[in-house]
Amino acid sequence: MQKDYYHQIIDDSYTKDIVKRIRVLFHIEDLVELHINEIDVQEIMLRIDGLAEDNININKVVVYGEEVFIRCGYNEYYEDVEISFKCNERKGYTLPEIYRTLGIRLAKNVVKILSKYLSYNREYLIMVLDNGDSIVLEGFRESITFPIIANLMFIAHTHPKTLQPIFSRKDLITTLEILSKRGIGSCVVSSTSLCILRKKPLTLDDYEKFEYLINSVEVATKDVLDVVGFESLYTLNL
């Protein structure tokens, strides 16, 4: 008889809050890109107040920048969050700072939830969707399979039989697919955890470096990943 594998949907308010902030960040990027046409949004000096602060339930975000890049005085609501654009002030956090802050919070929270499954003799995975839902899936003794869906924001999975967290080639392929679809990244969890996260939109150069890495190694430790020299990505040990 075929085994029914365990799965569970987790309704975690902290994860939902982080993912909502990321959705608002994406929306701000889209608004700015519409205004500046061909200019890379990451090359302009934007600062945002209200996204990186460690308070629950955001309701107002202010975007600061130069008049040539943003619509000064423009105001709108997105998912019940008021977004205002102001010029010639330098408050708040830069886009890379916000990406790092939200990415680290998300990774730490998901790894904490997933760590309790390390005692099981199977791999377990949490996928975080762009609506903030977290889904726990049970795999096999040395692998786990799951669909890469369009609204996948982040994943983390256990390696219960390894002491050092490493990305397998399959893990790297999955991570690149998530990153290339605007996801935040992924982590592998063993006695400690190793994460690949992005600090701005994935660049074409980093995509090509990642593909070369996939074709060059069987497994990737933090040292191997750091040698690559990614510009839009960073590694994190937890």
**Where are the domains positioned within the chain?**
7-12+98-237, 14-93
pLDDT digit string (tens) for 116-164? 888 888 889 999 999 999 999 888 777 777 777 779 999 999 988 777 8
As a whole number of angstroms, the distance between CA 37 and CA 175 comes to 29
> In the beta sheet, which residues pair with residue 63?
48, 85
* SS3 call for 71: coil
* pLDDT at residue 1 is higher than 50: no
As a whole number of angstroms, the distance between CA 54 and CA 234 comes to 22
CB 69 within 8 Å of CB 46: yes
Neighbours of 59 (CB within 10 A): 10
Which pLDDT value is given to residue 178? 95
* pLDDT at residue 69 is higher than 70: no
Rounded to an integer, the average pLDDT of 175-181 is 95
- Percent pLDDT > 70 in the chain is 91
Q: CA–CA distance from 128 to each of 60, 120, 185, 186 (Å)?
A: 24, 21, 10, 10
Which pLDDT value is given to residue 31? 86
- How would CATH label the architecture of 7-12+98-237? 3-Layer(aba) Sandwich (3.40)
* SS3 call for 37: coil
Q: Which residue do the tokens 């902290």 mark?
A: 14
pLDDT digit string (tens) for 74-121? 899 999 999 999 887 778 899 999 999 999 999 999 999 998 888 888
Which pLDDT value is given to residue 40? 56
pTM of the predicted model as reported, rounded to 2 decimal places: 0.90
Tell which wins on pLDDT, 213 or 123: 213
* pLDDT at residue 3 is higher than 60: no
CB 102 within 8 Å of CB 15: no
- For 27-36, 46-55, 202-211, which range has the lowest pLDDT when averaged over its residues? 27-36
* pLDDT at residue 171 is higher than 70: yes
